[in-house]
Amino acid sequence: MDFALNDIQQMLQDSAAKFIQSDYGFEKRQHFVGSELGFNPKNWSLFADLGWLALPFSESYGGLEGSIIDLMVLQTELGKGLITEPYFANVILAGNVIQRHGSEEQKMDLLGSLIAGELKLALAAQETASLSELTNISTKAEKQRSSYQLNGFKPVVLGAVSANKIIVLARTSGEFGNSEGLSLLLVNPDQQGVSLNKYVTNDGNQAADITFKDVCIPFSEVVGIADTAFEAVRKVYNDAIVAISAEAVGVMEKLLSATVEYCKVRKQFDQPIGNFQVLQHRMADMFMECEQAKSMLYYAAIAVDSDDNADKAVSLLKIKIGAAGTAVGQSAVQLHGGMGVSDELDVGHYFKRISMINVLFGSYDDHLNQLVKQYQT
């Protein structure tokens, strides 16, 4: 039994914390949120230099062989900085699915460029508002003589705006709703028949809705073996839940510390408002939620890492993150009073992010409902 960070994790944590503290102020972030790209391209090169883009990938493709636990450590620190660089979309979703399902050649090529910071990817999988039926894919790729013809629609694709290639989950055979018959296809966003509706998300990130109309995909652009992609996507989603929950823990810790600091200096009735017991207890509750969320994160990260009951573990985790994130986020805004709802202060922006995390990869309700149903069949 051991919960201590190892030397590599400690280094990762320190370098990420240093980056957030010295290079990633809130004002700089806000400047890039309004820009076309949505983030600072210099940071992306820095991520490559620091080895963060290489973290979870196998050594054979230039990676660092990091585990989900290493990713968890990094994501928590990045969460504290509220970064908008599409690290999650590229490394944890797209790169991950290539590593899990791509051919040797694709891995060598795509992961090599991703790690070098030269290529950006995005994964377009989910089509429903909630995650409960990830197999409900209407996007279709019909097999022609020498290519697939892709038709369909993918809403809210994270990282799509800056991606050079989009990895699309589409049905290539079998019935709607089946887990078999799904394939991943590499699509160039500039390709004929592909149109992106780009926008800034409510939490300052960027995403796009993508429409595919008779898009021609050569067989060479099928990721790995056709019709068998679902298992890899499912595993990527489990990793994604751990990683985004790690980010959530970072966001929550920041919300708690900011709130405690604010209540120590904000004076009303001739004293710091942190003297009032009703506020103290609310902050004690926030603290407990943060710690319980962190414990749950460790549990699920270890479960996913050792592939031990991972599906249930990530559902339990997402439920806890949903409950804790909502409670901590809302309390932080409430305790900041009017400042909590002002655009000028960072706290409201952390609240926005934690609220969006709750609806990504299955909400509290989705996961709870899924677990309940398992007892009712």
List residues binding other proteins (CB under 8 A).
1-8, 67, 69, 260, 263-264, 274-275, 277, 280-281, 283-285, 287-288, 291-296, 298-299, 301-302, 305-306, 316, 319-320, 323, 368-369, 371-372, 375-376
User: With respect to other proteins, which residue has the nearer C-beta, 302 or 333?
Assistant: 302
Closest distance to other proteins from the beta carbon of 80 (Å): 18
Closest distance to other proteins from the beta carbon of 254 (Å): 15
Closest distance to other proteins from the beta carbon of 75 (Å): 14
- Contact between residue 163 and residue 133 where contact means Cβ atoms under 8 Å apart: no
Helix (H, G, I), strand (E, B) or coil at 142: strand
Residues 174 and 189: their CA atoms lie apart, in Å, by 27
Helix (H, G, I), strand (E, B) or coil at 315: helix
User: With respect to other proteins, which residue has the nearer C-beta, 221 or 289?
Assistant: 289
Close Cβ partners of 161 (under 8 Å, ≥ 6 residues apart): 37, 38, 196, 198, 206, 207, 208
User: With respect to other proteins, which residue has the nearer C-beta, 195 or 275?
Assistant: 275
Total number of residues shown for the chain: 377
Residues 282 and 292: their CA atoms lie apart, in Å, by 15
User: With respect to other proteins, which residue has the nearer C-beta, 182 or 316?
Assistant: 316
The tokens for 100 are: 């899990």
User: With respect to other proteins, which residue has the nearer C-beta, 10 or 197?
Assistant: 10
Helix (H, G, I), strand (E, B) or coil at 155: strand
Kind of pairing between the strands at 182-187 and 165-171: antiparallel
User: With respect to other proteins, which residue has the nearer C-beta, 72 or 240?
Assistant: 72
Residues 360 and 342: their CA atoms lie apart, in Å, by 25
Residues 229 and 103: their CA atoms lie apart, in Å, by 12
Closest distance to other proteins from the beta carbon of 368 (Å): 6
- Contact between residue 346 and residue 336 where contact means Cβ atoms under 8 Å apart: no
Strand partners, 122: 166
Closest distance to other proteins from the beta carbon of 323 (Å): 8
In single-letter form, the type of residue at position 257 comes to S
User: With respect to other proteins, which residue has the nearer C-beta, 147 or 369?
Assistant: 369
Closest distance to other proteins from the beta carbon of 278 (Å): 11
- Contact between residue 110 and residue 120 where contact means Cβ atoms under 8 Å apart: no
Closest distance to other proteins from the beta carbon of 53 (Å): 21
